[in-house]
Amino acid sequence: MSYAMAGKRVLITGASSGVGAALARRLAAQQAVVGLIARRRDRLGEVLADCRRTSPESAMWAADLGDTPAAARLALQAWHALGGIDVLVNNAAIPRRRAVTALKPADVEEVMRVNFFAPMRMTLALLPRMLARRSGVIVNVSSVGGRLGIIHEAAYCASKFALCGWSEAMAVDLAGTGVSVKLIQPGPVDTEIWDRPDNDEPLYRGPKVGADLVAEGIVAAIGSDRFEHYLPELMALKDVVDAKNADLDAFIAGAAAMTWQ
């Protein structure tokens, strides 16, 4: 199923860098009107300037989605400013990379606010309007970490597992309403998430893909009939998840052993 992006209004969180910025530029090049949300006003302004070359009606809002009550208000503000929203892309995310024995409750709660509660609030704010017109797409950018427990990523995985479960149940509830849900499961992507301060060094040393390749996959997913999309497909990420689900004990034992290598 094709989905023409020209003229569509797309709200993207985490749009100042990485996948969010790449997606914004790609959609604007296809004449979509993009609304951009992120914390860093200067970086966000650079992305907006690029988008306005091909989509002059695009707009931005500098905001911290860790302030979850404000997330719903921001979503409605964007709806009114853009004249509605056809696609909501919940992409913003932060890590808290450290062993669970070193985590504090406040660490986990901060990650949950940005990675799960903000998407939940923004979705629930816009959903009644999408349902009233019987059209809309909710795109939740999770992670392979939403299907696999990753070493030293307990807080991040908890937030992404929550986003996966939320997305699956929401897709069932919304069947036949005209509002669809797309769950995006990127693998290792070459973005700033690996270098954020106040995080341990990542143990992963394998290949990473460019953000633009994932953005390309998200655009394709919006026009797809499928719910879940592992990106990029060339990494065979779903095979890893299927192997884990086939023998969870073996997966845990193998992953634990990597901690000591």
- Specify if 206 maps to a domain: yes
Among 3, 156, 204, 230, which one carries the catalytic annotation? Answer: 156
Residue 230 is among the residues annotated as catalytic for this protein: no
Q: Quote the pLDDT of residue 148.
A: 95
- Specify if 166 maps to a domain: yes
pLDDT in tens, 119-170: 999 999 999 999 999 999 999 999 999 999 999 999 999 999 999 999 999 9
Counting the structural domains of the chain, the total is 1
- Specify if 32 maps to a domain: yes
- Specify if 209 maps to a domain: yes
- Specify if 4 maps to a domain: no
| Distance set, CA 7 to CA 12, 32, 53, 208 (Å) | 15, 5, 15, 33
What is the domain extent for residue 132?
9-258
Q: Quote the pLDDT of residue 2.
A: 59
- Specify if 1 maps to a domain: no
Q: Quote the pLDDT of residue 193.
A: 82
Chain-wide mean pLDDT for the chain? 94
Please tell me the pTM assigned to this model: 0.94
Query: What CATH code is carried by the domain that includes residue 210?
Result: 3.40.50.720
- Specify if 3 maps to a domain: no
- Specify if 163 maps to a domain: yes
